[in-house]
Amino acid sequence: MPAKVPGGAVLGVEGYIVYVEVDVSSGLPFFEIVGLPDTAIREARERVRAALRNSGYEFPLRRITVNLAPAMIRKEGAGFDLPIAVGILSAIGEVDHRKAQQSVFAGELSLDGRVRGTPGVLSIAFATKKQGFKDMIVAEDNVGEAALVDGLNIYGAGTLREVVRHLNGVARMEKAEKTWVMLSCGSSDHVDFADVAGQEHAKRVLEIAAAGGHNVLMVGPPGSGKTMLARRFPTILPPLSREEALEVTRVYSASGLLPAGSSIISKRPFRSPHHTISPAGLIGGGRLPKPGEISLAHRGVLFLDELPEFGSHVLEALRQPMEDGFVTVARVRGVAAFPSEFTLLAAMNPCLCFRRPNPRATASCTCSPGVVRRYLSRISGPLLDRIDLHVELGQVEVHELHAVRDRETSRDVRKRVIKAVDVQIRRFQGTRLHRNAEMGPVDMETHCHLAKDARTFLYSAMRKLGLSVRSYTRTLKVARTVADLEGSEGIHVHHVAEAIGYRMPVLGV
């Protein structure tokens, strides 16, 4: 009789259940897989045939038809090897048919019958739980990842033969223990904010950005410390919550980028793509859409160095994800939504000759106003409007490099950041929000209480500076973060004044 074995697949970062239907009937030997499989799945015919024989089972020399349902969605990857093999054995009576229907299977088979790990198991595990299944059988390499999901019995299989003996009740596999989430913050590169001489105003800006999740643009000549500050920014970020860690891990698991031997991403990601990246590489894409750099930076940092060198199409593609917190990628073979709640950290030079902001330089700027204007126009106004904090860095004086004084360490700054983040966690408890930067208009009405004089000051500043409505809302969010760092419930004039100072243009010609 036909067998029906549950497997799993990933579309974008979301998992879904795929039922592997196997029919073994009389006729000339034939093995066909239907249901929009990709090349890797079609090649499963040879892997499964060899794995069955080398595991001590007879491969049926009959007509074998495998259907991957639902058939209208294209599937890819080698993770269907295990459910196909179990389905064939179930169809010929080698495996208890009822037991095979009660578990979800995911794993690639080697020719000798060993079970190998596959990408996307965490997302499949979430889908398994959502569909009401209790048991899931995966490769031993994927056990820690799948065991992150509560309420599932996870079994790690080393070989196909172990799976068959488990399903037939001959030798039960040991249920995996729940994976404990060990989260940390900071950086493993042994870098610290104390390494940076001077630039105290830039450090203050990064502290506000870390506390509220705000985007930052740093403008300054080479050697002013832009990249050095950016590389140390992760050291002042708060640790991931368990919920955030699972979100990030799903993205890396679906992309096949989960580090070997690791079951979870425990630190906030820091992504720094080269300026030659394509729009698809940044946003996501492919025949079956895969996450791009903005999704790999989810709940972390996306650092774009030499911002004007990125293609205009690449930069403009950032606008919608920065506003919405997700990006939808549509292709002929599928549509996928990827999360993109990241902090943008951008750095650029003020002109092409790099001398423009330093009046003390021995050589003055050689760029004409037209050249500078064309260089700066590579960054569009709408994109700049979505960057909350603008800061200009000058050259560090030589005496500051060897100044004898105690510099604040990343640990000192991180304590203040974590304290401000704890305030936001309590504020947004029971909502989808995590940081001040994510607030919408309704949330701002509820949580951004301006003192009367602060409101008057903000309205007056917005009119005089000619800032947009988006600038108004982003300034208010920054002011809320500044107040949180100070421990103030209300937003006062000095909080608003500091926030407005960071909206002042630093790209004037």
DSSP string, 44-64: HHHHHHHHHHHTT-PPP-SEE
Q: What is the mean pLDDT of each run of 10 residues along the chain (509 residues)?
A: 91 93 91 91 94 94 94 88 96 91 96 95 96 95 93 95 94 86 63 85 95 94 89 94 92 90 89 94 85 95 95 92 89 81 93 61 67 83 91 75 71 95 93 91 90 91 86 93 94 94 67
374 and 273 belong to one structural domain: yes
Q: At 76, is the secondary structure helix, strand, or coil?
A: coil
pLDDT at 363: 53
Phi, psi of 488 (to 5 degrees): -95, 135
21 DSSP β-pair partners:
4, 67
161-195 pLDDT, tens digit per residue, is 999 999 999 998 999 988 776 666 655 568 888 88
Contacts of 162 (CB under 8 A, 6+ apart): 171, 173
324-370 pLDDT, tens digit per residue, is 889 988 876 678 889 999 999 999 988 777 655 555 554 567 777 78
159 and 302 belong to one structural domain: no
Going from the C-alpha of 499 to that of each of 63, 192, 370, 389, the distances in angstroms are 71, 26, 31, 8
| Rounded (5°) CA angle 275-191-145 | 75
149 and 287 belong to one structural domain: no
Residue 466 belongs to a domain: no
277 and 366 belong to one structural domain: yes
Q: At 303, is the secondary structure helix, strand, or coil?
A: strand
218 and 142 belong to one structural domain: no
- Given a contact cutoff of 8 angstroms between Cβ atoms, the answer to whether 387 and 307 are in contact is no
136 and 240 belong to one structural domain: no
Omega prior to 70 cis, within 30 of 0 = yes
pLDDT at 362: 47
Q: Which of 100, 132, 167 is the last residue in one of the domains?
A: 167
148 and 296 belong to one structural domain: no
- CA–CA gap between residue 365 and residue 352 (Å, rounded): 9
231 and 156 belong to one structural domain: no
The count of domains in the chain is 2
- CA–CA gap between residue 228 and residue 196 (Å, rounded): 7
Q: And the tokens for 148?
A: 């992150």
In CATH, what number is assigned to the domain containing residue 342?
Answer: 3.40.50.300
| Rounded (5°) CA angle 271-277-281 | 75
- CA–CA gap between residue 392 and residue 260 (Å, rounded): 40
Residue 488 belongs to a domain: no
pLDDT at 509: 40
159 and 208 belong to one structural domain: no
Residue 286 belongs to a domain: yes
Nearest to residue 13, comparing CAs of 357, 294, 356?
Answer: 294
237 and 98 belong to one structural domain: no
In CATH, what number is assigned to the domain containing residue 62?
Answer: 3.30.230.10
Q: Which of 132, 149, 167 is the last residue in one of the domains?
A: 167
Q: At 235, is the secondary structure helix, strand, or coil?
A: helix
What's the distance, Cα to Cα, between the start and end of the chain in Å? 77
Residue 251 belongs to a domain: yes
232 and 371 belong to one structural domain: yes
The upper half-sphere exposure of residue 136, i.e. CA atoms within 13 Å in the direction of its Cβ, equals: 35
Which long-range CB contacts under 8 A does 49-52 form with residues at least 24 apart?
50/111, 50/112, 51/81, 51/85, 51/109, 51/110, 51/111, 51/112, 51/113, 51/160, 52/85, 52/88, 52/89, 52/113, 52/160
- Given a contact cutoff of 8 angstroms between Cβ atoms, the answer to whether 490 and 449 are in contact is yes
Going from the C-alpha of 393 to that of each of 61, 164, 230, 248, 406, the distances in angstroms are 73, 65, 13, 32, 21
Q: Which of 150, 167, 184 is the last residue in one of the domains?
A: 167
204 and 292 belong to one structural domain: yes
- CA–CA gap between residue 394 and residue 219 (Å, rounded): 9
Identity of residue 397: E
Identity of residue 224: S
Residue 329 belongs to a domain: yes
- CA–CA gap between residue 60 and residue 382 (Å, rounded): 63
Q: And the tokens for 442?
A: 């309704």
Host domain of residue 123: 3-167
pLDDT at 403: 60
Q: And the tokens for 482?
A: 């500044």
Q: At 108, is the secondary structure helix, strand, or coil?
A: strand
pTM, 2 dp: 0.89
Contacts of 238 (CB under 8 A, 6+ apart): 185, 210, 414, 417, 418, 421
- CA–CA gap between residue 457 and residue 479 (Å, rounded): 12
**Token pair 């038809």: residue:** 65
Label residue 330 exposed, middle or buried (CB < 10 Å: 0-12, 13-18, 19+): exposed
